[in-house]
Structure 1
Amino acid sequence: MLGDIAPEQLGLTLGHDHIFAAPPSDVADTDLRINDEVASIAEMQAFAAVGGSAMIEMTTVDYGRDTSALQRISRATGVHLIAATGFNKGKFADRLTEGRSVEAIASWMIAEVLDGVQPFSSDQPVWEASNAKAGVIKASSSLNALSRNERKVFDVAIQAHHVTGAPISTHTEKGTWALEQIGLLLEGGVSPARVLIGHLDLKPDLAYLLEVASTGVYLGLDQFAKTKYLPDETRVYLVAKLVEAGYGRQILIGGDLARRSYWKYYGDPFGSTFIPLRIPEMLAQAGLTAAQINDILVQNPRSFLAFCTDQPE
């Protein structure tokens, strides 16, 4: 959000999270409204104080992305925020993507990466160069399926990736349809090394995760601290097994903390500090070396976010 940086400037990086979002009015649950800048700054200050360096901020325009706020939060805290262009699942995105062509949406998405982030509008936008650019492209599917408009977004994401070099990060609903997402992206000529499949720990089937990993994509295990879905010990076990199978350079982790109640600022014991404070020790106890832990927390995000097409060695 503060301009282009070298990958080496990123330290511990969360692979999928949210620090500011104002969801549409039909989202009635107020716990999902994380749109208080004071709270967001305090949360990121706490993250930075325990070694947090960066966050891939996956809030999209259909879910209340505010890049001006993200810029201010990043500037106030020193935490690099990498914003997403693209869209959430059709439940939120259809109201924007319905009736608009691949070409029209692609023009906006490409400009967000190359020229600077802009509101998504049906009017012809006037692009103004800005240091605040999107650093990842987001495409999403629904539960076990891909709708017509969601397919359109994948087509746009492929086109925008080829023009910009930006990596693609996806939303899967409860970890489903990952292999089908990968099939679409690879058929479109996207290198698996430029793809991060999200929310895979919501489908904690090791055989399934190994099949996803075998395609060469990055795996997003990004629900850490959410014990209502899965104990973190199980997530760590899955990470350890993936590393044991040779896929340690393909894992990114995060918290996807899209509710106030998940945040330290609003009373959670850890909030966004949970991964820096707890997960390295848990991974070490599971048998990972310091170098393997550093891959997951630092090196893998650096490689994924770099605007290149080379597979990491």
Structure 2
Amino acid sequence: MSFIRTVLGDVDAEDIGITYSHEHIIIDESFATLENPDFLLNDVEKVSKELKEVFHLGGRTMIDAMPANCGRNVSKLVEVSLKTGMNIVAPTGIHLEVYYPDDHWRYHYSEDQLTRLFVDDITLGIDRNDYANPLEVDRTEHKAGLIKLATGDDKITAHQEKIFHAVVNAHKITGAPILTHTNYGALAMEQVEQFSKLGADLSHVVLSHVDRYKDVGYNRELLQTGVNVEYDSAFRWSMGKENWTYKLLEALLPEFPNQITVGMDAARHTYWKSYGGNPGLIFLLTTFVDELEKIGLSQYFNDLFVNNPKRLFAFSLGTSWF
């Protein structure tokens, strides 16, 4: 069986239904929210209210993208999943350096130690305290279903290369898919080069936010490598200005129908209606879907929301390493 690993257990990939491919469902109090208070998304009732609206419109699965020790709270993700009926996939891995203090354990752990943490999240269960002290771990039964990493603007640093190695190690051991953060699409090709060099299965690697890179040729070249992309900025382009998410989809979706997924990446509570913000997570199944029809792409709905996610976020066969 091809399966997706949710916080409530493994689900047959054929059953995950309409999927949002890059979300931030819970961001608990952390260094990240101290620096960015509008990132705080930790009210289970408000989050559940919003997800119920998405569920009512047909949404069934959300790929969460908040990795280890920067606001991840697996207990709250489980609570939201139980309240709403939504499948939720939680990540392990590491986010951008800016979301961690300068003396964080990520800088001191070896490649093997990081690999062990990621593998254990996937195979044993996520720490109840989210590795606040990774030497004293209290694992839950709720497991991670993908691995996250992130790069910045200028170059991939030596520290980030260590993260790449640990992420790909865990990917090879467990078969878990990989989801990445790019800054407005920067260094996306460099990410692919790293993954290719390290032997990752590009058919289970998804690079996020590259619709913010306003260049059809760049995005086409990226897709030609065989990697997959996630577009999530349709609601971010200013009114009256060209919407590059739709422009890229018009140009590339007919050519690469099997490699593009979509999400919201609504990582600020000001984007959530249940917090009094806009446009709300229903945007993707209302306004976005309406726009797809206007530009003649509605026939690709199942590829974007169902067929591609169920394949990309499924586990592939892992190998034993420890």
* Normalised TM-score (structure 1): 0.92
The answer to whether residue 10 in structure 2 is matched with residue 4 in structure 1 is: yes
Equivalent runs, 1:12-91 vs 2, <5 Å: 12-25=18-31, 27-91=34-98
Work out which of the residue numbers 130, 139, 162 in structure 2 matches 1:152.
162
SS at match of 1:219: strand
Amino acid at match of 2:160: E
Could you list the runs of 5+ residues in structure 2 that have no partner in the other structure?
A: 1-6, 318-322
Could you list the runs of 5+ residues in structure 1 that have no partner in the other structure?
A: none
The answer to whether residue 145 in structure 2 is matched with residue 135 in structure 1 is: yes
Structure 1 residues 28, 45: CA separation in 2 closer, same or farther (over 3 Å shift)?
same
CA distance in 2, matches of 1:34, 1:179: 31
CA distance in 1, matches of 2:238, 2:162: 33
Once structures 1 and 2 are overlaid, which stretch shifts more, 135-144 or 260-269?
260-269
| Residue-by-residue CA offset, 1:216-251 (whole Å, 9 max, x unaligned) | 11111122322349968431221121123x211100
Partner of 2:216: 206
CA distance in 1, matches of 2:241, 2:306: 23
CA distance in 2, matches of 1:87, 1:188: 18
Structure 1 residues 29, 111: CA separation in 2 closer, same or farther (over 3 Å shift)?
closer
Work out which of the residue numbers 230, 250, 256 in structure 1 matches 2:259.
250
| Residue-by-residue CA offset, 1:95-130 (whole Å, 9 max, x unaligned) | 231111011111110011111112325554567571
Partner of 1:275: 284
Number of residue-to-residue matches in the alignment? 306
Percent identity reads 29
Partner of 2:245: 235
| Residue-by-residue CA offset, 1:74-100 (whole Å, 9 max, x unaligned) | 010001111110011122246231111
Once structures 1 and 2 are overlaid, which stretch shifts more, 117-126 or 182-191?
117-126
CA distance in 2, matches of 1:40, 1:160: 30
The answer to whether residue 291 in structure 2 is matched with residue 285 in structure 1 is: no
Q: Give the CA RMSD over aligned residues.
A: 2.0
CA distance in 2, matches of 1:161, 1:28: 31
CA distance in 2, matches of 1:256, 1:136: 16
- The answer on whether the counterparts of 2:261 and 2:308 sit within 8 Å (CA) in structure 1 is yes
- The answer on whether the counterparts of 2:69 and 2:132 sit within 8 Å (CA) in structure 1 is no
CA distance in 2, matches of 1:160, 1:66: 21
- The answer on whether the counterparts of 1:225 and 1:232 sit within 8 Å (CA) in structure 2 is no
* Normalised TM-score (structure 2): 0.89
Once structures 1 and 2 are overlaid, which stretch shifts more, 15-24 or 256-265?
15-24
